[in-house]
Structure 1
Amino acid sequence: MIASVLSSLVLLLLFSFTTHAQAQWWKVQTSGVDTNLRGVSVVNVPDGKGVHVPVVWASGSNGVILKSLDEGKTWKRLHVAGGEALDFRGIVAFNASVAYVMSSGEGEKSRIYKTTDGGETWKLQYTDRRKEFFLDAIACLSEKDCVALSDPIDGKFLLLKTTDGEQWSPLPSDNIFGTGGSAARVFRSWDRGHSWTVAETPIIHGNASSGIFSIGADENNRVIVLGGDYKEPNRSSGTAAYSLDGGKTWQLAAQMPGGYRSALATLTMDAGWPSGRPAKISPMITAFTGSTPIC
């Protein structure tokens, strides 16, 4: 279910992990579109001078897909033919031209599209007529190597994969983990979905409307999960947690991003400290809906 739509905003969190420091600051930006944003993706793209600049893609309900080439100052509305009523809850981009977008809903309302021309046109790559089919998430290791997760069918999650960026097929159900209970857990696989381990997180949970709604990681085994309770969207406690060991153990964030959050993306770039030591700065972008952001 989707929380009531008030206004659409995008948050950017700039943080650096050092021995003593974590979250640095939050910046709120408006997208200018009145809808419920559910997905976000960010990539570094070289400009005409060879300088890498972030390109941000976002997606949401009512068929909304957005792209910004100027760090969120302005946004371009993109359209999927026949997708005006779809709920686009996931988006993964690789540059300013290539991206996947995933819609959620029962049966054929759950779809995977791909664009190779910056969002001018989109090709439908996968859907399923079964009523139980309900896509929840999409993630990629490369433009050709991606997975998508559906709600459980017959008690087990359905995990789809593509290895060529065009054709999608389900992983064998014998290798997919089952579900049960109201929990906020993270499942990990080191062999591309053939086996799994699980860890508990401190994200708020306990009913059907609460739990983890998004996850992001970087190359240094740092992982962040966001969530909350979409029926209490302004409740900020227990909405963000992080792991510094690849998801084995988890801690609540020292400063919560606000209320319920449903998407995030991370981007790592080189930066310098005043002392001259090189460091990695990771911006985190989250999408949410609300008339008064709590930061």
Structure 2
Amino acid sequence: MTTAGVWLALGLALGSADVKWEPQTSGTTVRLRGVSAVDARVAWASGDKGTFVRTTDGGKTWKAATVPGAEGLDFRDVDAFSERTAYLLSIGAGDQSRIYKTTDGGEHWTLQFTNALPGAFFNAMAFWDEQHGIAFSDPVEGQLVVITTEDGGATWKPAPSGVRPAALAGEAGFAASGTSIAVHGTSDVWFGLGGSAARVFHSANRGRDWSVATTPMASGEGAGVFSLYFWSPSAGIAVGGNYKQPEVATGNVALTLDAGKKKWSAPAGNPPHGYRSCVAPLTRERRMWLLAVGPTGSDVSKDAGRSWEPLDTTGFHAVSTPPRTRDTAWAVGEEGRIAKLVAAAPAPKQP
């Protein structure tokens, strides 16, 4: 029996969080891997075959399109700032790792960055604000590759070799949802790795120097840290596990209270019920909840990640909530799947 099945047998019914996923029509059938909610009206998503989709009416309608010249690219990450402005990151070896930007709602795209470093493979990007961003690649010659922008992506500058963080043999990042990197405030940034070790790197000065700490997350082939979120400069969460064993509910969540500098610990309560590729906050009942999604379903935590309850068994790759309000969420997945989180109808009273 799966972990979700065990919990159900114990009476923890799916949907017990009083919220549910409501399917929406994306206008595409490609695999969607990235999503970025701007507010209650505007959200963007990205995926395979150079595809992006956008809504400006809360998901009632989505418009799907392809970035010209990018039909062969896989956009694993999207970071949006308005209904007009968004960045896309494509993954892949060599020049398939690219960053595009639009300022007119996707009518036109500017190719801002094309990787030219042999062996590099970019995983994800994040932004402190619309002008200042950072992206990272798998290691090249034992060092992780980091690029930053201070001018809205007009220029992306590589970190000098002397300040690039050193990786262990067999260590690499994951591009499952574009959230293996996280930022907070104006200068803190973290990114998570897996493979030979499940570690998290942290910089408090936009990548000028780094610290690293080992987590209790699963490690090995296909395993590690897949997604990060920090709700303060010191408190944060990592989710992941082993994507090759999606039903396994061990080694898939870790918490830190010291900015991830030295200590990450596994929570004592029930973990998410399987490998999870993305985590995001949700404001509910005037409190912060956390949502985690993966191919076997989604989970919610009402206590800052210390314990989890299953929400739904529908598979998703990524989830996002609006940064100012966090009062709704969109999740994306296979075959153009998009769903919006809405309040569930109250259970009927027993006679």
Q: TM-score range by the shorter chain?
A: 0.7 to 0.9
Alpha-carbon deviations, 1:61-106, whole Å to 9, x = none?
2222122334445432132101122111111111211111100001
1:65 matched to which residue of 2? 52
Identity of aligned residues (%): 41
2:62 matched to which residue of 1? 75
* Whole-angstrom CA distance in 2 between matches of 1:289 and 1:258: 19
The runs of 5 or more residues in structure 1 that have no matched partner are: 1-22, 45-52, 274-279
* Whole-angstrom CA distance in 1 between matches of 2:329 and 2:219: 23
Contact 2:32–2:335, Cα closer than 8 Å, also in 1: no
2:125 matched to which residue of 1? 138
C-alpha RMSD of matched pairs (Å) = 3.3
Query: For structure 1, which segment, 122-131 or 216-225, has the greater mean C-alpha deviation from structure 2 after superposition?
Result: 216-225
Is 1:120 matched with 2:113?
no
* Whole-angstrom CA distance in 2 between matches of 1:73 and 1:258: 30
Query: CA offset at residue 287 of structure 1?
Result: 4.2
Is 1:217 matched with 2:230?
yes
Amino acid at match of 2:20: K
2:345 matched to which residue of 1? none
SS in 2 for 1:251: coil
1:189 matched to which residue of 2? 203
Classify 1:162/1:261 alpha carbon distance in 2 versus 1 (closer, same or farther; 3 Å): same
Query: CA offset at residue 237 of structure 1?
Result: 3.6
Is 1:92 matched with 2:79?
yes
Classify 1:245/1:105 alpha carbon distance in 2 versus 1 (closer, same or farther; 3 Å): same
SS in 1 for 2:220: coil
2:188 matched to which residue of 1? none
1:48 matched to which residue of 2? none
Contact 1:38–1:262, Cα closer than 8 Å, also in 2: no
Alpha-carbon deviations, 1:129-181, whole Å to 9, x = none?
34412111101001110011011111101100110011111011211211115
Q: Select which of 31, 34, 51 maps to 2:29.
A: 34
* Whole-angstrom CA distance in 2 between matches of 1:108 and 1:238: 34
Query: CA offset at residue 34 of structure 1?
Result: 3.1
1:11 matched to which residue of 2? none
Output the TM-score relative to the length of structure 2: 0.63
1:8 matched to which residue of 2? none
Output the TM-score relative to the length of structure 1: 0.74
Contact 1:42–1:267, Cα closer than 8 Å, also in 2: no
Amino acid at match of 2:228: I
1:7 matched to which residue of 2? none
* Whole-angstrom CA distance in 1 between matches of 2:326 and 2:156: 34
2:164 matched to which residue of 1? 176
* Whole-angstrom CA distance in 2 between matches of 1:155 and 1:177: 9
Amino acid at match of 2:237: I
Amino acid at match of 2:245: E
Contact 1:138–1:147, Cα closer than 8 Å, also in 2: yes
1:250 matched to which residue of 2? 265
* Whole-angstrom CA distance in 1 between matches of 2:75 and 2:88: 7
Alpha-carbon deviations, 1:234-268, whole Å to 9, x = none?
44443333434433433348455554443445476
Contact 1:40–1:285, Cα closer than 8 Å, also in 2: yes
Contact 1:110–1:134, Cα closer than 8 Å, also in 2: yes
Query: For structure 1, which segment, 171-180 or 238-247, has the greater mean C-alpha deviation from structure 2 after superposition?
Result: 238-247
* Whole-angstrom CA distance in 2 between matches of 1:85 and 1:191: 35
2:182 matched to which residue of 1? none
* Whole-angstrom CA distance in 2 between matches of 1:151 and 1:227: 17
Query: For structure 1, which segment, 219-228 or 125-134, has the greater mean C-alpha deviation from structure 2 after superposition?
Result: 219-228
Query: For structure 1, which segment, 26-35 or 139-148, has the greater mean C-alpha deviation from structure 2 after superposition?
Result: 26-35
Amino acid at match of 1:28: W
* Whole-angstrom CA distance in 1 between matches of 2:269 and 2:334: 22
1:162 matched to which residue of 2? 149
Contact 1:236–1:257, Cα closer than 8 Å, also in 2: yes
Amino acid at match of 1:187: F
Query: For structure 1, which segment, 167-176 or 264-273, has the greater mean C-alpha deviation from structure 2 after superposition?
Result: 264-273
Classify 1:92/1:37 alpha carbon distance in 2 versus 1 (closer, same or farther; 3 Å): same
**Count of residues in correspondence between the two structures:** 255
* Whole-angstrom CA distance in 1 between matches of 2:61 and 2:246: 26
